Amino acid sequence: MTTAPPADKTVAAVTGRSDWPHIARELADDLATDAVEREQAGKPPLDEVARLRESGLLTLLVPAAHGGGGADWRTAYTVVRTVAAADGAVAHLLGSHYFLSYCARFFTGPDRAARVERASVAGQWYWGGGIASHEPPLMLTPTTDGYLLDGHQRYGSGVGVADRLLVRAAAPGTGEPLAVLVDPAHPGLMSSSGGDTFGQRLAAAGSIGFDSVPVTADDVLGSLSPDDGALSPFAGLAVPTSRLVSAQFCLGVAEGLLGEVREHGRAVHSPWQPFSPHPWTGGPPQDPYVLTAYGELAVSARAASALADQAVTALTHGLARGEDLDDEECAEIAVLASAAEAAAARAAQEITARALDAVGAHAAFARHGLDRFWRDTRTHTLREPLAHRLREVGDYFLNGAHPPFTLPA
């Protein structure tokens, strides 16, 4: 767990900041200077989370009335995408934090959500954990003053550096899945960061064990039940919100690699040059194979980006409707977000593989670190298989079926 700076200084530093994309760009530029070295070292991202905290970005989505940045999800997605272009693992940390810290608004009442957000700002919490639908729920046992939490979670984001964890637990007796907020400082909680992953090495993700960890009744935020009628359509927006975090991560990583290989392409001979009828004699590259390859990758990125922008617009309108949102509107937004995530994942996989071909043998040099973009992308997409999103989109298109309430990893 990291040590937060004094709350009054932090809140004062954040208040009044409105140019969040500029702040994100400055942070991304800072991260980019040593991204290769930090990724290869693979140390716990304590310094990286400290940079996020100092920038004020951790409280971006909290309303200004609660001491936060007062920004919306469109801005948050822009920030995640900007950071991902420089450092995918840090963007993963930030995107997971945004979704998990926002869950109080989805799954509990406004008064409780306000208290959680004020406490988060005051403590400058970084949120980790996960409430994925495929995780077996932890078990809550009632006590005289709350509950004891036991069990094992196979995967959680930022578990090695989080100030608070949001996890999925089963209600006593009924087994109803609940969102539970946990302080990871308790000695009954043991986390193990996934240090052997080949990508997102600085995301501090891993498993979490709980052995009689006490939680209060106030720490149980609300239901995560997928049963019809258990959640409001507004709460159902948690799914597309998280899907679009994934989409923006993929787009950011892909755009980051495209930016780097463009510089290589302008300065280094094409790998196809020996076979080209147009020898390069200096000046802008003119090899038709190189230009075609970059053209195809740019089209892929722009098409996925346009679909993501459309989905973000739909989501922000849905969030603004609040409890007036109906089931059909929620379903349309969820399908659009699933389509955007699928397109972004497919584009990122194509770009992070084929862009290395355009660079050629120089892409294999470890000092360039270009492989990290591919590894970060594949690590992410392996956790969120593309086939599931395509099935949801197809079932809605063909049968009008609403996507299931399935929270992602």
In the predicted structure, residue 293 carries a pLDDT above the cut 90: no
Residue 18 has pLDDT above 80, yes or no: no
Q: Which single residue is written with the structure tokens 């004094």?
A: 6
C-alpha to C-alpha distances, 198 to 11, 26, 89, 355, 403, nearest whole angstrom: 37, 27, 12, 19, 32
Mean of pLDDT values over 60-66 = 96
Tell me the backbone φ, ψ of residue 78, rounded to 5 degrees.
-60, -40
Q: Assess contact for 165 and 127: CB atoms under 8 A.
A: yes
Q: Which pLDDT does position 148 carry in this prediction?
A: 97
Intrachain domains 129-223 and 233-399 with the same fold = no
Task: Please provide the distance, in angstroms rounded to a whole number, between the alpha carbons at the two ends of the chain.
Answer: 21
* Residues present in the chain in total: 409
Q: How many percent of the chain have pLDDT more than 70?
A: 89
Q: Is 285 exposed, middle or buried (0-12, 13-18, 19+ CB in 10 A)?
A: middle
Which amino acid appears at position 218 of this protein?
D
d(CA 383, CA 162): 20
In whole angstroms, give the CA distance from residue 232 to residue 191: 33
Mean pLDDT for the stretch of residues 144-168? 94
What is 129-223's CATH number? Answer: 2.40.110.10
Q: What is the pLDDT of residue 408?
A: 84
Domain chopping of the chain, boundaries: 7-126, 129-223, 233-399
* pLDDT tens sequence across 307-327: 999 999 999 999 999 999 999
Q: Average pLDDT of the chain?
A: 89
Q: Is the dihedral of CA 194, 93, 344, 293 positive or negative?
A: negative
Alpha-carbon distance of 146 to 345, in angstroms, equals: 42
What pLDDT, on a 0 to 100 scale, did the predictor assign at position 16?
44
Residue partners of 12: CB distance under 8 A and separation at least 6: none
- Alpha-carbon dihedral 328, 174, 210, 212, rounded to 10 degrees: 140
CATH superfamily, domain at 233-399: Butyryl-CoA Dehydrogenase, subunit A, domain 3 (1.20.140.10)
pLDDT score of 2: 42
Helix, strand or coil, per DSSP, at residue 177: strand
* Tens-place pLDDT, residues 366-395: 777 888 999 999 999 998 888 999 999 999
Question: Is the model's pLDDT at 282 over the cut of 70?
Answer: no
| DSSP-based three-state secondary structure for 191 | strand
Domain with residues 7-126, CATH architecture: Orthogonal Bundle (1.10)
Q: Nearest to residue 152, comparing CAs of 163, 133, 168, 173?
A: 168
- For residue 116, give the 3-state DSSP assignment: helix
